[in-house]
Amino acid sequence: MSSSAELQKTIEDMIDAERGILAADESTGTMTKRLAAVGVDSTEENRRWYRTMLLSTPDVGKYISGVIFYEETLGQKDDNGTPLAELAASQGIVPGIKVDKGKGELPGAPGDMITYGLDGLAERLDGYKAQGARFAKWREVYPITDHNPTALGLTANAEMLARYAAVCQAAGIVPIVEPEVLIDGNHSMERAAEVNEQVWHAVFHALHQHGVVLEHMILKPSMVTPGKDRGPAAPEEVAEMTLRILRRTVPAAVPSINFLSGGQTPEQATANLNALNQLRDRAPWQLSMSYGRALQEHAMQAWGGDPANREKAQQAFFKRARLNSLARQGQYQAQQEQAA
């Protein structure tokens, strides 16, 4: 199969009108914090058991089309010795891999960040592909302040995303391009819209320069929301502003926009996704999700480290996946939160 055909097949397997992506790619440090919050030690065995539990939830492939793994998880197996990538694929869930190596300060641009990990990426992708990964994810982070992101921050981060995406496509791996504009702060919704517009414009300019095929990538952006310190905006406001800025900056050739939840509660993330899909006649792309905590938080709380809670935790995960599938179709209602 040619690289182009391989990329197209992955896109077709991952994108439809009802399903979304599970982001299970928390680093060991992030996973340690999440597990500590429910009183669980972050051992490799506990991390393996928990992610096996999620992926073995009966019929969850009806609502989840892809899963982003952390490097550790891609190499793990379930209790029967089946690699977790195979376990996902058996449910019709495409396995993927987070490939960036974390972030640090961007020299010359105080307050801005830059992500590491381009060195050796092509070789690493070959290894990940051999383990079953068919897509990848790379995250750049943009704090909002009165002076951030700077012009250098916009250009440097876009360049990293574009170089990563080009390397992925050359390897037959679909890139998820994630420019995360952080929700932290007291900024207005208008300021968030301004920054997201600058970010998305810079990213697609760089993608074009590097020859990235837009039909064979997925965009994972933030929704346009006010800073967390201001409290949430109504879902209708979030949807209207987000779609307005996306229409200005994202070419119609991109097949799917899979939003990150980025500090929203599970309920907020679902309501906002639903509001976006109620405007989907104005969107040339699929409007989906690539949620981590917003899909997992209730399941992790229900589990609490006790294997006896496996079924209860799987039910919580399945419910969240189902509600987000309804939101994908613009059919979610708040009262459905109370239904089993």
Q: Which sequence positions are flagged as catalytic?
A: 178, 220
93 neighbors 56 (Cβ within 8 angstroms): no
Per DSSP, the residues of 120-167 read THHHHHHHHHHTT--EEEEEEEE--SSS-S-HHHHHHHHHHHHHHHHH
Distances (CA, A) of 259 to 77, 131, 234, 337: 29, 26, 17, 21
One-letter-per-residue 3-state SS of 44-79: HHHHHHHHHHHHCCCCHHHCEEEEEECHHHHCCECC
User: Tokens representing 122?
Assistant: 């092509």
SS3 content of the chain, % helix, strand, coil (to 5): 50, 15, 35
- 261 vs 288: CA distance, rounded Å: 11
Residue 171 CB coordination number (10 Å): 20
- 326 vs 336: CA distance, rounded Å: 10
3-class SS at 194? helix
